[in-house]
Structure 1
C-alpha cells in the first residue's frame, strides 16, 4: 500500500472512528446512566428489550445494509441515488412492521404483569423505525467513502440525544421508555442531516426488481449470518432472566458495557473494510489490505484488554457508583473477547467482499448451535459465570473457525 493510499485511508479511518465515537458514545453513556439510576430489575428489562431489538436489526442489516455495502460500492455506484431511494422505501415498510411487533409485545407483557419489560418495548416501538433508518443512511455514507458525513450526523445525534436525556433526567422522567423516545427523535434528525448532504452521483433509474433480486440472493445469506451471529453475544439476555431473573441480565449488561468502547471503535474501522476490500479486489492487493486491517484491529483490541486488566475494577466502581462490583473480576477475562472479535470482523468482511456470504452464514450457524447447546446448561447452573465462560469460549472458537476457513480454502486464497 502506497504512502498516499495509506494516508487517505488513515483520514477516512479518523472520521469513521469519530462517527462511531459520537453515536456509540451517547448510547454508551445512556446505558451507564440507566444502570446507575434504575433498579436492577428495570435495567435488566431494558437490556432484554434492547437485545431483542438487535435481533430485529439483524434482519434489517442482512436484507438492506450489508448488500448495500457490496452493491452500492460496485454495481450501483453510478446510480446510487436511485438505488438508495428504493432501499429507503423498503426500509419504512419494514420499520412500520417493527413498530407494530414491539407494540404487540408491549401489550402482551403488560397483560402478563411484566411492566418493566412492557415499558421498554413501548419505547422501542417508537425508536425502531428511526434508529434503523439512521443505520441505513449512515452506512450509505460509508459506501460513498464519506465517513465525515456520518460524523456530522453523529455530532447532531450527540447534541440532541444527550440534550433530551438531560431534560428528562432533570424532570425525573428518564426511564427505559423515555430513553428510547429521545433516541428516536435524535436518530430521525441525524439521519436526515446525513442524507440531505450525500452527493450520490447519477440519478439513473435502477429497477426495483433488480435490487430485490440481488439483495435477496445476497441478503438471504447475510440474514442468516446476522441471525446466527446475534446468538453468541445476546442469547444470554434471554436465558439469564428465564433462569435467574431480570437482575441477572442487568449484571451481565454492566460487564458487557465495559467492552463496548473497543467493540464500537473497531466496528467503526470495520465499516470501511467491505467497501475498501471490494475496491481492492485484485490478486496481492486484497491480501495486503486484509493483513493490514487485521494488524490494526487486533492491536487496538489487545491494548484495550491490557487497560481492563489494569483498571477494570476501578472503572466499574466509578461508572456504576459502587453498584454491581460483585462481578468485577470477570472483566479481566471478558476483555479478551474483542481480540477474537477483531479477527472475525476482518475475515468475515473479506468473505463478504468476495461475495461469499454463505460461508459466513454457515460458520456463524455452527457457533450459534454450539452456544445454545453449551450455554443453556451453563447459564442454568452457573448463572452469570456460565454466561461469561460460554461467551469467551465461543469468541475464541469463532476466530479459530474463520481463520481456518480462509487458510484451508485454496480457491479463496488464490482470489486474494
Structure 2
C-alpha cells in the first residue's frame, strides 16, 4: 500500500500537477507582492508591460513549444533532440523580433526606456527557459521541469519578497528579478541537459515549416483568446494608469481560480479521452455530469465569497490600496467563473476530437469585445470594461457549451446507428 502510494504521488501526472501549482501559484504570489509594493500609477504601467510580455509568451508557445510537444512526442530521441536544437537556434532571430514588437507596444502603452529594456531581457530569458522545460515535458522528464520551475518561479517570489523588504521596488527592478531567476534556471537546466549520443541535424527553417501546419491555428487561437478577454487592460489604457491598476488588481486577485483552471486543462482532456475510448459515450456522459456538479459547487462558493467580501478581500490582499475597486471585483468574478466552466467544456471538446470549438467560441467573444466592449468602455468607463469582460468570457463559455453538446449528440447518434 505504501509503495503504491509512493508511485502515485511521484508519478508523471502528479509531478505535472505539482509543476503547474508551482508556476501558477508563484505567478499569483509574484503579482500580489508587486501590487502591494508599487504605487498605484506604477502598478498600472507594470500591468501593461506584463500583459505585453504574456502576449509574446503565448505567441512563442503557439509557434515553438506546443508544436514541438505534439510532433516531438512521436519522434525518436535523436530526431527530437535535433528538432529541439534547431528551434533553439531560431531564437537568435525570434528574440530580436519579439524585442522590436515590444518596443512598438512600449511606445504606446508604457513609454519608459528602462522598463522596456527590463521587459525585453525578461522576454528573452523566458523564451529560453520555456523551450527547455517543454523539452523535458515532451520526454516525460517532468521532475527536471519541476526542479527548473522551482528555481525560476518560486525563486522570483523569494527574491522579490527579500528585496522588497530592504529596497523600494519599482517596475524595472521587478522585471529584472524575474529575468534573473529565469536566466539562472535556464543555465542550471543546460548544465543537466543530456542529449542522445547521435543527434539528427536539421535546418531551423525546415523545422519551422514542418510545425507551421499546427502553429498557424494555434496563433489564431491565441489571438482569439486575447480578443475574448485579455486585451481589456490595453483598451482602458487611455483612462489612465490608476484605472488600469485597479482593474488589474482585481484580475490578479481572481487569478487564484487560475490554478484550478490550469489543472483542469492539463488533466481532464487526456482522462476524458481515455474514458470515452474504453467506457464509451455513456461513461463520458456520467463523467461530464459529475465534473459539472463539482465545478458548479466551486463556482457558487467562489461567487459567494467574492460578492459578499469583495472589499475585505481587496483590503487583505493589497493592504487597502484598491479597496474602492470592490464593485469591479464583483463584476469580474462572474467572468472568472465563466472561464472556469469554459475550461471544463473545452477539455471535453478536445477529448471528443474537436480542436476548433475553442477557437470559434473565442472568436465570437472577440467580436463582442471590439463592438459591444468598445461601446461599454466609451459609455461606462472602467465599469463598462468589467461588464464587457464578463460578457465576452460568458459568450465564449456559452458557445463552447453549445458546440460540446452538438459534438456529444453526434457521438451518441453514431453509437446508436452502429448498434
TM > 0.5 fold call: yes
- Give structure 1 stretches of 5+ with no counterpart: none
SS at match of 2:178: helix
Judge conservation of contact 1:109–1:118 (CA < 8 Å) in 2: no
User: Is the CA contact (8 Å cut-off) linking 1:145 and 1:272 kept in structure 2?
Assistant: no
Cα separation, 2, equivalents of 1:302 and 1:77: 47
Alignment of 1:310-321 (within 5 A): 310-321=308-319
* Distance in 1, Cα, partners of 2:92 & 2:296: 37
The Cα shift of 1:194 comes to 4.8
Question: Which residue, out of 186, 210, 225, partners 2:181?
Answer: 186
Deviations 1:134-160 (A, max 9, x none): 333333444344443332223222453
Structure 1 residues 9 and 370: CA distance shift in structure 2, 3 A: farther
Residues 187/368 of structure 1: CA separation in 2 closer, same or farther (3 Å cut)? same
RMSD (Å), alpha carbons:
3.7
Kindly indicate whether the alpha-carbon contact (under 8 Å) linking 1:23 and 1:154 is maintained by their aligned counterparts in 2.
yes
CA distance in 2, matches of 1:225, 1:217: 13
- Contact between 2:126 and 2:182, CA under 8 Å: does it hold in 1? yes
Report which stretch shifted further, 259-268 or 189-198.
Answer: 189-198
- Determine the C-alpha separation between the residues in 2 that align with 1:73 and 1:285: 26
| Superposed displacement of residue 230, structure 1 | 1.0
Q: Partner of 1:225 in structure 2?
A: 221
Shift of 1:401: 0.9
Structure 1 residues 85 and 302: alpha-carbon distance in aligned structure 2, compared to 1, 3 A threshold: farther
Residue 332 (structure 2) aligns with: 334
Displacement of 1:44 in angstroms is 0.8
Who is 1:96 aligned against? 96
The whole-number CA distance in structure 2 between the counterparts of 1:412 and 1:271 is: 25
CA displacement 1:361-403 (0-9 Å, x = unmatched): 3332222111111111111221221111112122222111112
- TM-score normalised by L of structure 2: 0.81
| More displaced stretch, 199-208 vs 48-57 | 199-208
Residues 1:247 and 2:245 are matched in the alignment: no
Q: What's the counterpart of residue 411 of structure 2?
A: 413
Q: Quote the offset at 1:281 in angstroms.
A: 8.4
Q: Secondary structure at the match of 1:34?
A: helix
TM-score by length of 1: 0.82
Q: Deviations over 1:236-294 (max 9, x none)?
A: 1111122x211111110011011112213321442345666787884756974984776
Taking a change above 3 Å as real, the CA distance of residues 282 and 202 of structure 1, as seen in their structure-2 partners, is farther
2:157 matched residue in structure 1:
162
Larger Rg: 2
Q: Does 1:67 align with 2:62?
A: no
- Corresponding residue for 2:231? 235
Contact 1:134–1:188, Cα closer than 8 Å, also in 2? yes
User: CA contact under 8 A between 2:272 and 2:284: conserved in structure 1?
Assistant: no
Aligned to 2:53: 53
CA distance in 1, matches of 2:37, 2:247: 17
Q: Distance in 1 between matches of 2:296 and 2:209?
A: 36
Check the 8 A contact 2:307/2:330 in 1, yes or no. yes
How far 1:18 moved relative to its partner?
A: 2.8
**What's 1:34 paired with?**
34
1:162 CA displacement: 3.1
Report whether the alignment pairs 1:176 with 2:174.
no
Unpaired segments of 5 or more residues in structure 2?
A: none
Contact 1:79 1:200 in 2 (8 A): no
Tell me if the contact between 2:264 and 2:347 (Cα under 8 Å) persists in the aligned partners: no
Which of the numbers 320, 323, 343 marks the counterpart of 2:321?
A: 323
Residues 192-211 of structure 1: matches in 2 within 5 Å?
192-194=187-189, 205=200, 207-208=202-203, 211=207
